[in-house]
Structure 1
Amino acid sequence: MLHWLRHYRRAMLPGDISAGVVVAMMMIPQGMAYALVAGLPPVAGIYASIVPPVLYALFGTSRTQSVGPMAIVSLMTASSLAPLAAAGTPLYATLAAQLALLSGLVLLACGMLRIGFIANFFSRPVMSGFTIGSSIVIALGQLPALLGASLPALHLPSAILGLGSLVILLAARSLLAPQLRRIGVGSVVADIGAKLVPMAVVLGATVLVPVLGLEGLGVRTTGTVPAGLPVFHLAASFGHWQPLLQPALLIGFMIFLISMSGAQTLALKRAEKLHSNYELIGLGAANVGSALSGGFPVTGSISRSAVNFAAGANTQLASLITAALLALALVAPTGWLALLPLPALAATIIVAVLGMLDTTTLRTAWRYDRVDAAALLATAAGVLALGVEAGVVVGVALSMGALIWRASRPHIAVLGRIPGTEHFRNVERYSAETAAGLLLLRVDAGLFFGNVEAVNERIEDELAARPDTRHLVLVLSAVNAIDTSALFALAELNTMLRTRGIGLHLAEVKGPVLDRLKQSALLDELNGKLFLSTAMAWDALSPNARTH
């Protein structure tokens, strides 16, 4: 906060005020709806939207991040607490706050230890699969509230109100912004106007409840919303620390990942730089604040942050204004909040999560890399079939598995010389010349215990295909490291080739790799030479060249 306050200018204030007001209007229905997703009273969503953004503003580095309840984290909260307590009970609310506290402490510890780089190990396709699976789970979970009951026995007034709200929201989502632009409204105003439709729908449905007597017809509402600011206290059940630890680790990881994905996108638009370790500290403090004020785990919302950005937010003062307005909403009479109909809130949740069903990543991955596409689909299926926490584990395992699978099968190219040059290229891609008795192999990955066997097999295959080989040159221009297992494998290859009358040569060894090799006996025992370049090896070992 001290950094952006020091550089604050009066010209920034109008944008921060407008963004703060717009996001506050979004937060009331959205926060209450996401509290319901988490299995908590609607007011908990407002509690979780007041203190967390204030604490994030103190430590976080994104100027447009909107921190508060978010659909996926709310779903993970409900999934984690369901085996431990019944939703709506005091114990459940206590455990939700305790889960936020543990998640916050995990994030703070990661920030202090400077391990923000861990987010890099969750690939974008896997993250997309997790989002798709979670969105479907959330949408399906809201159908009973939308229809007033289960499908075979739906409650007609609730279903009419819920489905009517859903149709209006879907129509506004796809049609309102283009229509506003068509009549001359600016793009930014049109987009913000479309984003505020959920607030208008919820307010309209709330007005209909007393006018049409919907509560008397059986339409469920949020019920009494206590007035007044949240009371700071630490609620904890000491017998539940251990069962909450694993979910807290997973939720903390997802909080950071979701928050960073949205904040990075917005930061790039303004050429701003985020510091991942300070983001961890800011998000950790926000979750500790949520726990102390009767909330539940929170994160940076991608959709709200985008609205905050579009509405003109220049600094975190916009989030502070949002928090102040929400606090005023609780200080003022809250009787009208008790009339918010659950079918309309369910409709806003469904439309919000349907916006996360983006298949762009799937289509791109399917064309570009089927392994990534398979990981995306498997993660989504894991969330649907096994649950949210298991889906996270599946995603992480698949990310690591894909990385190990690729690393264990490095690309190896047979090289030839482009005629008349000193450039050497893959003979399968270029019309390059090779030399009798000389085999040039370029290994395009570091050599380690996981891939050294595959490299040896490929070398044997190439030697078998070229029985006249007298010199094997390993071009190591793409090798950044050689571990101990690979060092022993190279030594064994050297010994084997010597017995077969074949020289083993190394070319284009990088400096750090060469420094390590000098600490071993391999270079002294090498059955060949060390060449600075592939061209030098070619000149020394190929008296006659032929076209491949």
Structure 2
Amino acid sequence: MTLLQSLPLTHFLKHYRLESFVRDCVAGIVVSIVMIPQCMGYALLAGMPAEYGLYCAILPTFLYALLGSSRCLSVGPAALISIILASSIAALNPQSDAQYIFYAVNISFLAGMFLLLMRLLRLGNLTNYISTPVISGFTSAAALTIMLSQLKHVLGVEIGAGLDFGETLRALIRSLVEVNWPTLSIGVGACLVLWYFKALFPALIKTFSLPTWLQQALGKSGPMVVVFGAAALVAVLQLDQTSGVAVLGNIPPGLPDLTAVWTGFSMDIELWKQLALPAFLIALMCFITSIAVGSSLASLRKERVNPNQELLALGIANLGAAVSGTFALAGSLSRSAVSHQAGAETPIASVISALCIILTLLVLTPLFYSLPLAVLGAIVIMSVFSMIDIAQVGRCWKLNRADAYSLLATFFAVLVFNIEIGICVGIILSIVLLVHRASHPHIAVVGRVGESAHFRNVERHDVVTDESIIAIRVDESIYFSNVQFIEDFILEQCSAHPHAEHVVLICSSVSFIDATAVDALEQLGEKLRETGITFHLAEVKGPVMDQLKRTEMIERLKPGQIFFTVDEAMRSLAVSKQNG
């Protein structure tokens, strides 16, 4: 197989037809309608000039389309990545716009390298170790931080960039006396129009006999409508001059000029040491959010994305962002959902979107001169509003309080401290919960159901027990982290049952046992014998039995036995008691 044949895009195009190309073209155009204003808004969120958001959606998009395993994932500027970037660079106190951009480019490069390193180490399943509640708590708090950071544009006030949630809130409160009312009117109006286009307008256009592709384009045209409508309003009324409405201003036409970014570029190890942590966190969040979006969309087609291939694609895409002289990126939930809904069949839809971005940079940039910053702020606010998942708190509270606590802890860590600390807190909590659950397996004392050969938890079912036999089921493999918990449980049950003569450890759910566990169980058998209790095993799986045969445990277990079933154990021990 050649390198070209191994590329995911080649697989997608294997049975490509003209109808598929038409659907991809329509989806690509529809996505670009959302993407163009969103990219500019996310660039401002990252503290970068608006055109850099458009640059971020060209070369990286082509690279991801070539290498990505998702049909519909739309990569480019993303709200979470942008706010982390702004916070991280602000902490470095850049002395000029050029230095700020230089830091952003280096972070893109390092994030890409971290993603490629994760691919080299085959860490595609890394996301399995970060719980959904932790991610939900982080994204909800980050969304609130993003929304709050954009209120300065909607209110028309000046506050510093890169502030955390509390600092931004205090700065906004102090600035309320300086609100620019025309700007506020434009911002609120833009939010209302965007809400209308999202909630009500799609149902309205369905009443007309329009082609499906046109309905989709019109239904997603809200951002473009507010962009061009507000720009025309400001230009005609000259609100930027008469009322102080802040506008986007001149966007350089054409593709990016990389001379200023890469002139004098060299490997600055000291700078990379400062940027390593934020770059790693950006790489991690890029992968987590992208794989979550890509997997959810792939499941709708009964397909799967390849996590390790995604690490490669996202890593190369971020390196492409660095080469383009712009900032780090990730998969976008809102744009990817639009791509799927618009009927995208392959990554060619993303290529079409990138071509639309190029056309915009070459031809349409003069139209954005009078675009109010309040409108871009409104677009960002409305884009991230759906990331706030209040229902998840109630759901976790009902299912598992520990998950709810971890969600809330991550949420408040982001708000009280900053996003970087919030990410670290979330990761640590995920690891702590994983370790805690692994070290505290579910254990149940079981009894016979009627006269049957079935045994169930005595706390959940009406069962028959024998006061001389304690049957205990462990619903987990036994290894160094949980064997002490299991031993303590067994000894507590023996203390609670003074007439017990036998303990049967049911191993039906035990698929693995390590050396530490074997030693601990041997010692437990000896402790029980000293108190007049015999230790037995039942329903030991073949692989575990093979492990035990390679040790001395079977001999040391005697006079304890290993029974094929729990029913056999209970009947045999009951008979021996009668004979004794």
My pick for the range that moved more, 132-141 or 227-236, is 227-236
Take 2:36 and 2:223, find their aligned partners in 1: how far apart are those partners?
10
The letter of the residue matching 1:373 is A
Alignment of 1:43-122 (within 5 A): 43-86=51-94, 89-122=97-130
Structure 2 stretches lacking a partner, 5+ long = 1-8, 158-174
Structure 1 stretches lacking a partner, 5+ long = none
Alignment of 1:145-294 (within 5 A): 145-149=153-157, 150-181=175-206, 193-216=218-241, 217-231=243-257, 235=262, 236=265, 238=268, 239-294=270-325
Question: Are 1:5 and 2:13 an aligned pair?
Answer: yes
Alignment of 1:366-385 (within 5 A): 366-385=397-416
Q: Is the 8 A contact 1:39 1:87 kept in 2?
A: no
Take 2:130 and 2:226, find their aligned partners in 1: how far apart are those partners?
37
Question: Are 1:466 and 2:497 an aligned pair?
Answer: yes
- Identify the residue that residue 473 of structure 2 maps to in structure 1: 442
Q: Deviations over 1:116-175 (max 9, x none)?
A: 010111111111111100000001111111110132211122112112212222343333
- Identify the residue that residue 532 of structure 2 maps to in structure 1: 501
Take 1:384 and 1:162, find their aligned partners in 2: how far apart are those partners?
24
RMSD value over aligned CA atoms? 2.1
The letter of the residue matching 2:129 is F
Take 2:215 and 2:395, find their aligned partners in 1: how far apart are those partners?
30
The letter of the residue matching 1:103 is A
Take 2:480 and 2:148, find their aligned partners in 1: how far apart are those partners?
46
How many Å apart are 1:187 and its aligned residue? Answer: 9.0
How many Å apart are 1:463 and its aligned residue? Answer: 0.8
Alignment of 1:278-317 (within 5 A): 278-317=309-348
Question: Are 1:36 and 2:44 an aligned pair?
Answer: yes
Between the two proteins, the alignment pairs up a number of residues equal to 546
My pick for the range that moved more, 196-205 or 227-236, is 227-236
When normalised by structure 1's length, the TM-score is 0.95
SS at match of 2:65: helix
The letter of the residue matching 2:317 is A
The sequence identity of aligned pairs, in percent, is: 40
How many Å apart are 1:514 and its aligned residue? Answer: 2.1
Take 2:311 and 2:97, find their aligned partners in 1: how far apart are those partners?
31
The letter of the residue matching 1:101 is F
How many Å apart are 1:230 and its aligned residue? Answer: 2.0
How many Å apart are 1:478 and its aligned residue? Answer: 1.4
Cα distance change on mapping 1:545 and 1:416 into 2, 3 Å:
farther
SS at match of 2:387: coil
- Identify the residue that residue 537 of structure 1 maps to in structure 2: 569
Cα distance change on mapping 1:8 and 1:137 into 2, 3 Å:
same
My pick for the range that moved more, 92-101 or 537-546, is 537-546
The letter of the residue matching 1:327 is I
Take 2:215 and 2:359, find their aligned partners in 1: how far apart are those partners?
27
Cα distance change on mapping 1:333 and 1:182 into 2, 3 Å:
closer
The letter of the residue matching 1:537 is A
SS at match of 2:239: coil
The letter of the residue matching 1:28 is I
How many Å apart are 1:506 and its aligned residue? Answer: 0.7
Cα distance change on mapping 1:414 and 1:66 into 2, 3 Å:
same
- Identify the residue that residue 334 of structure 1 maps to in structure 2: 365
Q: Deviations over 1:94-122 (max 9, x none)?
A: 11111111111111222233210101111
Q: Is the 8 A contact 1:436 1:544 kept in 2?
A: no
The letter of the residue matching 1:63 is R
My pick for the range that moved more, 362-371 or 209-218, is 362-371
Aligned partner (choices 340, 364, 376) of residue 345 of structure 1: 376
Structure 1 residue ranges (4+ consecutive) displaced by more than 4 angstroms after TM superposition: 181-192
Take 2:191 and 2:210, find their aligned partners in 1: how far apart are those partners?
25
How many Å apart are 1:296 and its aligned residue? Answer: 0.7
When normalised by structure 2's length, the TM-score is 0.90
The letter of the residue matching 2:236 is V
- Identify the residue that residue 323 of structure 1 maps to in structure 2: 354
